[in-house]
Amino acid sequence: MSNNPTVLEIDAGAIKHNLHYFRSKLKESTKLLVVIKAFSYGSDSILVAKILEQQNVDYLAVAYADEGIALRKANIKLPILVLHPQIENFEKIISYDLEPNLYNFRTVSAFSSMIKRSGKKNYPVHIKINSGMNRLGFKEEDIPQLKLDIKNYDNLDIISFYSHLAASEDPKEKDFTKQQIDLFDATSSSLRSILPNIPLRHISNTSGIINYPEAQFDMVRLGIGLYGFGNDKKATSILKNVCNLKTKISQIQNISKGETVSYNRKFTAKNPAKIAILPIGYADGVNRNLGNGISSVYINKQKATIVGTICMDMMMIDVTDIDCSEGDEVVIFDHQDHILESAKKTTTISYEILTSISQRVRRKLIN
């Protein structure tokens, strides 16, 4: 276990609170899939998956096969959808009982052939429909051919048809979102009509759950909402922040007026100053553009400005007016507002702030 003083706390109580909130928005019959790709949005996918398994969610989803394999090796038993499987990993997917998303004729054909060779029958798969996002998925014009082909793939068990909303958080895109929902409804109904079983249907992401209750279909996919973010301030305020990034002061430097700090001498003290050095830098996931007075951290609930250039493994903060000592705790973020502020100042989104936290930062489950 690392003794690195920099730690990302993962709040189990907050995860359960957020899960309960989104479940309260669902019909009793609606299943819940939780997306835990990218180390559970930068936290820890195994810790989070264990909590979700205890909370009886229906499905997990990851981006790539290796993420699903790590969960299986940690003894996670829930069904796991692999959202972006690669043909070269199909054998591993079968070995570890993962369920691939098949998104074009090439992947369907290749996976069916591999299942045939393996001697397995009724292997669970999911079919992605492109309803307007224009990433992965079968387009509307592919559906007639897909209907013909599906009949030949009797070794596959289609568990679900699904699609992805492009702008469900944006009220200006309501017409486009409704168009996506209608197209998905029509194409998935057409595909379901020729199958003996009735696959699940799902299109709603976090913002879809909040804004489009009519689009729940049979299942929804909860992503960023689990980690404490809705699609606006009101929705986010009901949720709890899951990830707290904290560190400790390594050293305090007393510098004189006119002295400079860090690379390229970007900070010059206008008066005598007290500068605290923290063992966290851009290799740990703190965006380098937050330095040079752009952003702050928190000591004893007081803001301390980041000064000078953020280094790979260290950053410096001005604590001239703060009562603190070496070894004291420093909060990089422990609230959604802190994360959103960093996102705004680096012209990005909360997802990137969270998923950027390096794997060398120690993870710790709290509550």
Partner residues linked to 317 by β-bridges:
276, 306
| Helix 45-54 vs helix 12-23: crossing angle, to nearest 10 | 50
In angstroms and rounded to an integer, the radius of gyration of the C-alpha atoms of the chain is: 24
The 3-state DSSP class for residue 33 equals strand
Q: Provide the β-strand partners of residue 84.
A: none
Q: Do residues 31 and 219 lie in contact, with contact meaning Cβ atoms separated by under 8 Å? A: yes
Say how far apart CA 74 and CA 39 lie, in whole Å: 13
What angle do helix axes 143-150 and 174-192 make, rounded to 10 degrees?
A: 30
Q: Mind telling me the catalytic residues? A: 37, 263
Tokens of 187: 């194409």
Q: What are phi and psi of 110, to 5 degrees?
A: -65, -40
Give the phi and the psi of residue 139 in degrees, each rounded to 5. Answer: -85, 165
Torsion (CA) 277, 278, 283, 288 in degrees, nearest 10? -60
Residue 209 Cα distances to 20, 80, 185, 340, angstroms: 13, 21, 16, 21
* Parallel/antiparallel/unpaired status of strands 251-255 and 273-278: antiparallel
User: Which pair of tokens denotes residue 1?
Assistant: 């276990």
Strand pairing category for 243-248 and 329-333: antiparallel
Query: How many beta carbons lie within 10 A of that of residue 2, not counting itself?
Result: 10
The secondary structure of 311-367 as a DSSP string is -SS-EEEE-TTS---TT-EEEEE-SHHHHHHHHHHTT--HHHHHHTS-TTSEEEEE-
Q: Which amino acid is residue 214, in one-letter code?
A: E
Distance CA 345, CA 349 (A): 10
